[in-house]
Structure 1
Amino acid sequence: MDLSALADFNLVASHGGFGRASRASGRPKATLSRHVSALEEQMNVRLIERGGRELRLTPEGAILHARTVDPFDEITQAAAELKAGIGRPRGVLRVSVPLLFAHTSVGRLGTAFRAAYPEIRLDVIAEDRFVDLVSEGYDVVVRFNPPVDDTLVGRKFLSDHLVLVAPPHLPRPPDREGPVKLQAVVRTDHAEVPLWTVIDASGSVHTYIPQPVLCLSTTFMARDAVLAGAGAGLLPHSAVAPELASGHLVAWGKATTPAIECWVLHASRRLVSPKVGAFVEFLCAYFDERAPASDRTAGPG
């Protein structure tokens, strides 16, 4: 198989036509057409339906494109990196992160990463939605408690946990047998809110029945409502750490639910480029250095 012709076929298929591929690549349209025709003759199969206004791949062409486009992208990226300098982290790194992580960490993290790798431009998009890393053009994603996905690989770099917080002036309900009702700010619009079970600093277990006074869709709206005195809230520690340190909020206990795992992931089918490898290593080291010794449940490894 003529690999040059295959590369031109993928170029045309990816851009949706010979003209678009020619404009994007700067290669003559006639050359692209000739190479695709030669590939069809070599394989004895039609890959592109000609004659219509829009390019349409045949079923065989669609299969060939799906099976070969990623390897050729990797070859192109590897060649560019070799030309720029072997193993040198550089270029644009597109990262998708959840809103909570963006608000609590990305500003400081991005500045430190930029200082360490000045030839990488970090483009971070904050969004609370599922992101298809490959089809949407991301190099890396940060996700909380990601499901098992054999198309992605990565590392856990941080464990967060939920903590029951309240403003200092809000009286804590007295202990009694059985769950206790609690005026609460919740992050759900469900009719029923699960019980909140926490362990306080002395090791005692307390169970509360949240009585929602506000149902808010983001962590930071809920945090601000708790700060304003609306009620108690069960929130990620990372979202309220500054307020706990300053005394604007107090912690009534740590949730008994499993910790929130923070993962940095990239595509398993792609070779790990120097810029992706640099970001993953930096992220793990950054949070490992900042975690208290007793709280280092994640990090490199």
Structure 2
Amino acid sequence: MLETFRLGGNGEGLFYRHNIVNTFTVGKLEWLSHLSFIRELDLSFVSLSSANDWSQVINKLPFLEELSLSHCDLPSISPSSFSFTNFSTSLTSLDLSGNSLTSSFVYPWLFNVSSNLVSLDLSMNQLKGPIPEAFGNMITMQELYLSHNQLEGEIFKSFGNMCSLAFLDMESNHLSTFGIVQNTSLSCTSYSLRELSLAYNQLKGNSVLNEITKLPSLSVLDLGYNLLNGTIKESIGQLPNLKVFRLAGNAFDNVVISEAHFSNLTELRSLDLSYTYLTLKISSGWSPL
């Protein structure tokens, strides 16, 4: 009784001029439906460009817990497969990164494929437009990767319902507004989130840093290469667990940072202020805590 099947996995494709050359090619996946007891399936870096049935086949694997189809050149999900989606309670880890999946095809299937996802990777696809609030229904989610897409607008309020979310990567999108904790009295994510990457977006102004201070559990924060400007308030020191802080490549102009900004950042290990017009005002005898 086969429970684990790995044919690709972990970068075994060949990288040629920044493109990935798949080392295996597989046609239709109907044969997988006979492996009804499979729990872990990894076909990463296997070309599945002709596997138009991949989503229907996955729906027929009731015990599947971990699925990785990273960099598989997946064809778009057929709308006809939505009606055949089984609402699974077993699938906890799903990696569809590095494909060309679009919002209109992947979202309807995704939001019905599992009720217990813990880790989801949709990075390096072609997701566009605002982030759907249906993500907020994934209340068991701990790790969410949406980087390197074309998502835009506000970082949606529905994150507040994801009480287990600890890692959120939304680097390299077109996000412009930070609204994740606008209602902190209801946002359990404010206390669960430990690592947050929003680098290479279009966040601007200084209100973002004010909102960030409402995430007291953060240990890693990357806001590099946005459009942040204005002042940096001493309240940034209200992140006592912060270990890595990156503000590189923003639009600050002659902003002063003093010892007071670091007074409570006793866990800070890495600070990146490269390519910014910031002034550090500290005494010669200052010894960081």
Q: When the two structures are superposed, what TM-score results if normalisation uses the length of structure 1?
A: 0.25
Q: When the two structures are superposed, what TM-score results if normalisation uses the length of structure 2?
A: 0.26
Higher radius of gyration, 1 or 2: 1
Bigger RCO (CA 8 Å, 6+ sep): 1
